[in-house]
Amino acid sequence: MSKDLSYQLPLFLDYSAQIDRSYDEFVEHKADRIFLTRGLTLVYGLQAGGKTQFIKAVLKEAKLRKLTTYFVETNVPYDHSAFEKAGLYNFVCLDNLNEVCGISEWELSLFHLINFMEDTKKKLVLGTSVAPDNLEVNLADLGSRLRSADRVYLGPFDDEARIDFMRRIARLRGFEISSDVGKFILRRSKRDMQEIEALVEKLEAETMKQHRKLSIPFVKEILRI
């Protein structure tokens, strides 16, 4: 795996296993990649699954690393000045992205903020409880930015997260897994995220070797099921 690809591949963090360790410690030891990369990272976690607490811990850790931080509120009416302020900081977070998707003012400001943070090599973290590829975005350019963003998946994981993770890895490796094929694979796997990653690597090798697109019959043939 190339160094560039390894940084693009999704990061999955299972908070359900962090019983004796605080979120702050978990962020410090397990999510360093968020601080090593610039531009946009999407944090995808279930409602009440620790996503908001994770983002708060990331903000706290950013301050410890001497970064200036800013949090954009989404539970208030749209305010353009919030986005103007955000551009002044090194590390910016916004939670509940899914709740403002589809609102033109929010979408346009988010699109410009993403571009600005990438151009100035600053960091933007957006939290969502809807799978990134399933966000209802009207602004096509924003949708493209979100689909190409670095991703962190927070466990425990549901099937939507697993399929999104599977398709994201495949896309980064240069091939596509349709939603139907993803569901078919998931029904016949152990649903473990590491196993899913290994399956995608195997599918990639066979699609390249046989020069065939991925279909359910082809998956049956590869996996011998």
Q: Could you read off the pLDDT of 38-71 as tens digits, one per residue?
A: 999 999 987 666 788 889 989 999 999 999 999 9
Contact 69, 91 (CB under 8 A): yes
Q: pLDDT at position 19, please?
A: 45
For residues 111 and 141, the answer to whether their CB atoms sit within 8 Å is yes
Residue ranges of the chain that CATH labels 3.40.50.300 = 3-156
- The answer to whether the CB of 146 falls within 8 A of the CB of 132 is yes
CATH annotation of 3-156: 3.40.50.300
Q: How far apart are CA 200 and CA 193, in angstroms?
A: 11
User: What's the burial of 217, exposed, middle or buried (CB within 10 Å: 0-12/13-18/19+)?
Assistant: exposed
Q: Lowest-pLDDT range, 15-29, 40-54, 114-128, 166-180? A: 15-29
